[in-house]
Chain A
């Protein structure tokens, strides 16, 4: 019997025998990301950057300029900075890229809930991070030179890197949902990424001021950098350093709420300023 001639009309609204939509979208996105080679290309770039960073740190060590524990923490911070960058790029391309490839419309024509679609894309965009973290372990281990804090550093790196990756991937995804082109979503995402890196480059005098402290406290990337420095290198007690984790955790919650609660229901065929309007009734979830 032909699929079309099956009696009973269309697929019933109650049909729910299959996997949840977000898992379907996740599976499809992972296939495109990993089999398509994009994730692999970004991870190769990641490995090159990590190699260069490690070489520079090791050279400094030979000159007795940097102690092993500090090198380990710097390598960990580099891992996070480069790793979350992958999520940012993939997130920034995930929706606007589909618009440009004309593959978004068929997806929007299904009864799939928009939140499910975005959640699937979100998780897929974050997926290169664990691989990046695993790739970075040998570099960090070599630079640690047997330091006893290696295990705890890797554990904190994995946790904080995951938080930051979710945050920055969410930023990229937001830009992607509301951008008319991948170029503009990438531009906005990279701008935010550079702004997040900026506090670390500010003069020490400014960082010591109240304004500098506020900037550091608001910037999740800088907060994490300060936490790792003070907790792992400076020997600050965890209870005392805990306040530095407020910014990344709040940023993570905000990103998830905005991505899934605000942006996802507004996912539309066209990006641009028009899509910033109120949620359309066509986007109401089932």
Chain B
């Protein structure tokens, strides 16, 4: 049913040039309602520029985009349909959370009473109802981010843009905020564009992903599709990284090399005892699990094989000090693709 939904955000060949520097080249993607799209990329990749173009703060040099059927040549109409939490957003020091949301509600054309009602509901929505009358200056960073999300929702947006929303939050704050974002997308059928450096959080809550590097899109699709791209030659998806005591490195290498599914092993840190075992490719692993030929199935099969290899090491009385499963993760794909683009 989701597939039949019309995209709520469509970007076509967007470009942004500053003088002689091209910050964004040919950005194209679409987003359907109720889905979370992760915008990934190293610093300077063009994520924030992309969001600023898509939120009408910057004018594209070329290309166009549509939000809820409204073209980029009607920026004010687009602003009525989007909510944005910019990176590093500031807040007025002398307003309460309630007053702040009421003010922005009115800026979006709500009557004073409607804006007040909306502010109360949104504060409850983001869990700040008990601090509604406190000055924003007394809020913690996490509370301000929640307030920022509430502000981005005052106009009931069709698309919500969040630029590094979890930056600077503690792990619990990150988890809570991500759950909130996912709930907003699912319950309110809002399309969410989430820009982040945190690959694990993108992988955890995003349905789709766009990976950017130096203004280019280097990968896009569903998270599973993008991870599946790691099956391409040269991308180290099927890898087991394991740390054993230094005096057991040679023994562990011998045991791993004896396994038919291990192509080769490399000792990356003799002193610390890290060994990297490169496994057979995805096709060779599909038989172990429910492999369907897609990235997720191959990843599952790789996991089963890693368990077997670990069992072999443990069976040989080799202590496992640390384990990095490697492969099958967005992080590996991201590192590989961005490194390739840089080269």
Contact = CB atoms under 8 A, between A and B. Distances in A.
A155 interface: no
A4 B86 contact: no
Given A32-B93, A32-B94, A109-B79, A24 B107 contact: yes
B156 A282 contact: no
A135 interface: no
Contacts, number: 135
Given A10-B81, A36-B93, A111-B109, A3 B76 contact: no
Nearest to B84: A109
Contacts of A11: 80, 108-110, 155-156
B266 interface: no
A36 B68 CA distance: 40
A28 B104 CA distance: 10
A16 B117 contact: no
Contact of B153 (A3, A9, A28): A3
A106 B114 CA distance: 20
Interface residues of B, number: 52
Interface stretch (B53-61, B214-222, B277-285): B53-61
A18 interface: yes
A2 interface: yes
A108 to B, nearest CB: 6
Given A102-B86, A282-B56, A284-B76, A3 B108 contact: no
Contacts of A35: 94
B125 A106 contact: no
A31 B90 CA distance: 16
A133 B294 CA distance: 76
B156 A106 contact: no
Contact of B109 (A5, A15, A32): A15
A235 interface: no
A280 B72 CA distance: 13
A6 interface: yes
B156 A6 contact: yes
B158 A112 contact: no
B52 interface: yes
A11 B190 CA distance: 14
Contacts of A109: 55-57, 79, 82, 84, 86
B156 A10 contact: yes
A282 B57 contact: yes
Interface in B107-137: 107-112, 114-115, 117-118, 121-122, 125
B157 interface: yes
A3 B156 contact: yes
B126 to A, nearest CB: 11
Contacts of B75: 281-282, 284
A18 B52 CA distance: 28
A105 B108 contact: no
B270 interface: no
Contact of A105 (B86, B106, B122, B156): B86
B109 A3 contact: no
A18 B154 CA distance: 14
A98 B93 CA distance: 12
A217 interface: no
A111 B108 contact: yes
A3 B121 contact: yes
A12 interface: yes
A64 interface: no
Contacts of A110: 79, 104, 107-108
A286 interface: yes
Interface in A258-286: 269, 280-282, 284-286
B217 to A, nearest CB: 23
A99 to B, nearest CB: 9
A106 B89 contact: yes
A266 B185 CA distance: 34
23 contacts: A4-B184, A4-B188, A10-B157, A11-B108, A11-B109, A11-B110, A12-B80, A12-B109, A13-B77, A15-B110, A17-B109, A18-B110, A18-B115, A21-B107, A31-B94, A32-B92, A32-B93, A102-B86, A102-B89, A103-B91, A109-B55, A111-B76, A112-B107
Interface of B: 52, 55-59, 68, 73, 75-77, 79-82, 84, 86, 88-95, 103-104, 106-112, 114-115, 117-118, 121-122, 125, 151, 153-158, 184, 187-188, 190
Given A4-B184, A102-B89, A105-B84, 19 more contacts: A3-B153, A4-B121, A4-B153, A9-B68, A11-B80, A11-B108, A11-B155, A12-B80, A19-B112, A21-B107, A28-B103, A32-B95, A98-B90, A103-B91, A105-B86, A109-B56, A111-B80, A282-B59, A286-B76
